[in-house]
Structure 1
């Protein structure tokens, strides 16, 4: 009877007939056993990137739609003069009554002092500038501002939203010290009205010419300004 040979230094996994046990690994040559299939390399995962691009595209599309809808609802500015006549802008965007001033841009709306400019449902009137003197003797130019909120949204107002451009083209901020109640600041509800004085430092006797009352605050966040022209 044949006995399996002793193999004290051999591979304990190798049987006495020199064959690899089932499921064993090759010992020489580095070749995989018959029937072994090499796994394909893992595919790169682009799922997260695709989802991110889709979300970004949806957000951009929504932003475009919102801008288009809001732009379609905006009304062109109108200028109403003292004789109650009204002229609406005809340039397709922000316009004016044909009045111009130094430094005026295509987006500005200009009117004569005392006229009413209505934009985005808010009607604003600036009376002609009057010369006043504050308690310390400085010469001031003051106008009475009246705001009627004819829109369906609350609007804010502030004295500091107003500037005065002198005949040299330099603008100065509003100051306090006039004889009448100041415009101050606050929120104006739909259908509400507020009125008050806005004053500026200036002396038309020393610098006669064109003075422009400017507002760029409560109407919108664009660069469009409202302007009232005074010749002093």
Structure 2
């Protein structure tokens, strides 16, 4: 795996130093530069090709959110803040993760793992697009239906092969344009399938749409806090407002709401 080139955008010297220390512990992270405000960050981005931004939210003149929204092209972003109320804004901007200060190294590692997974998924998608012989904009009607498993799973295509995915192994599904990313217990599968077809292939008794980009496994859900859904694996995904009532109706008191 190529090194991940990153910059730190953080106006607090102590927080900047902590993140820099964490970055230097991981040999595949390459710290390209540090910025104390958005203007310095713009300069770094104009001079270097960056894979990852560690971005604080509360900064002078231009906030971290305003800075990210202004970028025509955004690398992966890990938000760093002492305020949990910005989580929804972060997911609307499709940030990779959201770290609350003070940041523990273990939590930092989990965030970096998500960055690596996203990069790997992007590389897989690019490879498969190049391998596709049919036009990318082929109508859904021409796409063969996904074969259903007997009672306990479904078959999906992975690297040209049909692979059976058991329902009890699926944690959640994420939409990725023409593909979906299926998160299992210890890995993920990227397959050429629409979110609509994926939703139709999963049993309603076990899965629920919680966001325009996410389907969650009901047995894997641990709790809901605000507009965030947590799994037993400690992973979190956002809940769309239009899906919240349907989610709560299905859970029927199984979940702890804070």
TM above 0.5: no
**TM-score, length-scaled by structure 1:** 0.21
**TM-score, length-scaled by structure 2:** 0.20
Structure having the higher helix fraction is 2
Structure of greater relative contact order (alpha carbons < 8 Å, 6+ residues apart): 1
Find the structure with the greater CA-based Rg. 1
